[in-house]
Amino acid sequence: MDQEILAVKQRFGIVGNSSLLNHAISVAMKVAATDMSVLITGESGSGKESFSKIIHSLSPAKHGQFIAINCGAIPEGTIDSELFGHEKGAFTGAVEARKGYFEVTDSGTIFLDEIGEMPLSTQARLLRVLENGEFIRVGSSQVRKTQVRIVAATNVNLIKAVEKKKFREDLYYRLSTVPIYVPPLRERGNDISLLFRKFASDFSEKYRTPPIELSEEAEHVLINYRFPGNIRQLKNIVEQISVLELEKQIDRETLERYLPKNHQGLPELAGGRSASQNTEERSGSNHQSDFTERDILYKVLFDMRKDVTELKKLVLNILRRESYGRDVLNDHEELFNNLDHESANEPKSEVEKQTFLLTEGERRAEESNKNIFDIQNIEDASIDVEESLSIEDKEKELIIKALEKNNNKRKDAARDLGISERTLYRKLKQYEIDK
């Protein structure tokens, strides 16, 4: 069985050796040969769609069509038409009859992602398909047959949705004949390191640069990070580091700059509480030190300002290395005048950051009680946002200067800019530079 699981991993590009992952693959392989309904559960970004493809490819329906549908992305008013089709004149704009996905994929497999977002009326129609293999087009009375294999997935707790009357109980038990749990990245241990190396190799080949490598301390930090965005988040982080870092040996400090400090996906407040926890506590208390939504926004703006400062440093280092950078620095000296002052005033430790935010929260709460709205703070925030947007203008300007210096030879310009020729080509398209 281990060899069969390994073969499936290689076929579908699945990286990892954790026991939870291997168990999920094993269940998918066993259920594939049956016609049983499957419900795949797991957090967003954990790779649920890959398991639906495993089931389809190993099933008797493998020669039929496979369609993946995100139920949360289709408007409630059109999802019935998309899934089951409609007759001409069934509603405004229905100028001709149309087949739905259940008709198009007859003898194939439909993957219904985010099934918890499906409207209740559509759930009733879906239940009929599961029970009898029958459906009716919108605006028709003719019963049609289909032999579609249905695989559903969700990142929400359907039991709680059933309790809140947002999901049909009979549909839940019909779908979850065989449940498959896809573990989040934080539960997969050393798989995180394997995936990091896999993505680093992929982006090294894509951008034609040496692959990034982690120090021992950095790898320890990576494995212990919670990754609320799972595999998708890890892949994005590896791509950022691969593109932005000139030094390919990544230490702990460098890695931590790319890992959001908040592990839960919401701004983390003083005392280690998440925003959601703080909101719950605030509902039973009006204590002045409790943080409000405005304080959360301030925290976001504070982090944004820090990111802009780091980006300024990166641009400044590039300008100082290149001959054409002196002209840019002279023309835009005001952008970099206060850079050392901004860095010196940044809170260094988590305690300092929490104290800073707490003090700011209390000050703003006091102003709110006096009905004073501090316009200057909003103006400062606007300046930071405008400066962050202006970085793109500087990048565009640098690219143009590099091209002019090298007589529009992209290879030489890319070398001067310290980026790959492929990245330069992408930037030219992004900024619509016709060179």
Alpha-carbon distance 295 to 288, whole Å?
A: 12
Alpha-carbon distance 135 to 85, whole Å?
A: 10
Alpha-carbon distance 104 to 110, whole Å?
A: 10
Q: Give the tokens for residue 21.
A: 């992952």
Alpha-carbon distance 107 to 128, whole Å?
A: 17
Alpha-carbon distance 61 to 31, whole Å?
A: 13
Give the amino acid at 289: S
Residue 132: exposed, middle, or buried by beta-carbon count in 10 A (0-12, 13-18, 19+)? exposed
CATH architecture of the domain with range 2-183: 3-Layer(aba) Sandwich (3.40)
Q: Are 138 and 85 in contact (CB under 8 A)?
A: yes
Strands 109-113, 178-181: pairing kind:
unpaired
Quick one: pLDDT at residue 382? Answer: 44
Phi first, then psi, for residue 40 (nearest 5°) are -100, 125
Strands 213-214, 178-181: pairing kind:
unpaired
Q: Which residues lie across from 40 on neighbouring strands?
A: 153, 180
Cα dihedral 420/421/423/427 (nearest 10): 140
Alpha-carbon distance 45 to 185, whole Å?
A: 9
Angle (nearest 5°) at CA 172 between 131 and 144 = 25
Alpha-carbon distance 309 to 341, whole Å?
A: 10
Q: Give the tokens for residue 22.
A: 């291997």
Residue 344: exposed, middle, or buried by beta-carbon count in 10 A (0-12, 13-18, 19+)? exposed
Quick one: pLDDT at residue 329? Answer: 65
Residue ranges covered by each domain of the chain: 2-183, 295-435
Quick one: pLDDT at residue 350? Answer: 47
Quick one: pLDDT at residue 269? Answer: 40
Quick one: pLDDT at residue 341? Answer: 56
Output the tens digit of pLDDT for each of the chain's 435 residues. 789 999 999 999 999 999 999 999 999 999 999 989 999 999 999 999 999 999 999 999 999 999 999 999 999 889 999 999 999 998 888 899 999 999 999 999 999 999 999 999 999 999 999 999 999 999 999 999 999 999 999 999 999 999 999 999 999 999 999 999 999 999 999 999 999 999 999 999 999 999 999 999 999 999 999 999 999 999 999 999 999 999 999 999 999 999 987 544 444 443 344 444 444 444 344 443 344 455 566 566 667 777 777 777 777 777 777 766 666 667 666 666 666 655 555 555 544 555 555 555 555 544 444 443 444 444 444 444 444 445 677 778 888 888 888 888 888 888 888 788 778 887 888 888 876
